[in-house]
Amino acid sequence: MMHWCQKLAALFVLSSLAFANDLDAECGSEWKKDDIIHMEQPTCKAPSFAQPEHDIMFRSFYLNTPKFNISSHIPEYLSDIKWEALWRAFHDAVVGTMDCILLWVRFYHLAAIPLLRTLSVIVDALLPHALSLAQALSQVVLRLEWYYQLLLGVTILLIVVVVRKGYVHTAKARCTIFIRACRQRYRAFLTSLSAKSRLAMILLPHVLYSGVAYALPVYAPNSNFTTLLSSDLVTNILLVILPLVRSISVLRSFRIKVANASSTSSLPIQRTTRSSTREVQSSMDSEKSTLQSELRFWIVWSCGFCLMSISSFFIPSFVTAYIKPSKYWSNLFLLWLQLPILRGSSMLYYVISRFYQPCTTTRWGHFGQANMTNAQSETTARSNLILRTFMALSIISERHIAVLQDVWSQGPALCGLIFLFTPGFITSRGCYIIGFGFPAHSVILTLHRSNQLKRYEWWLCYYIVLASVEYTYYGVEQAFSWVPLFYHAKLLILLWLQFPYFQGAQRLLDRFYANVFVTKVGV
Closest CA to 446 of 493, 413, 409, 407: 409
Beta bridge pairs of residue 514: 518
Instruction: Give this prediction's pTM.
Output: 0.61
- What's the pLDDT score for residue 94? 92
The pLDDT score that the predictor gives to residue 521 is 45
pLDDT at 456: 86
pLDDT tens digit at each of 523 positions of the chain? 555 555 555 555 555 555 444 444 444 444 454 554 455 555 444 444 444 555 555 555 555 555 556 566 666 666 677 778 888 899 999 999 999 999 999 998 898 888 888 888 888 888 888 888 888 888 888 888 888 889 988 999 999 988 888 888 888 888 878 887 887 887 788 778 777 777 888 888 888 998 988 888 888 888 888 888 888 888 888 888 899 989 988 888 888 887 777 666 555 555 555 555 566 566 677 778 888 889 999 999 998 888 888 888 888 777 777 777 888 888 899 999 988 888 888 888 888 887 765 444 444 333 333 344 444 444 455 556 666 676 666 666 666 666 566 556 666 667 778 888 888 888 888 888 888 888 888 888 888 776 678 888 888 989 999 998 888 888 888 788 888 888 889 989 988 888 877 778 888 888 776 555 544 444 3
pLDDT given at position 422: 87
Q: Which residues contact 136 (CB under 8 A, 6 or more apart)?
A: none
CA–CA gap between residue 235 and residue 331 (Å, rounded): 6
Residue 209 · residue 336 · CB < 8 Å: yes
- Got the DSSP string for 17-46? HHT-TT--HHHHHH--HHHHHTPPPP---P
pLDDT for the residue numbered 272 = 52
pLDDT reported for residue 369:
37
Within 10 A of 105 (CB to CB), how many other CB atoms are there?
Answer: 10
So where are the chain's domains? 223-263+280-513
* Dist. CA 472–CA 495, nearest whole Å: 17
The pLDDT assigned to 10 comes to 54
CB 362 within 8 A of CB 314: no
Point out which residues pair with 518 in neighbouring strands.
514
- Of 233, 473, 246, 248, nearest in space to 330 by CA: 233
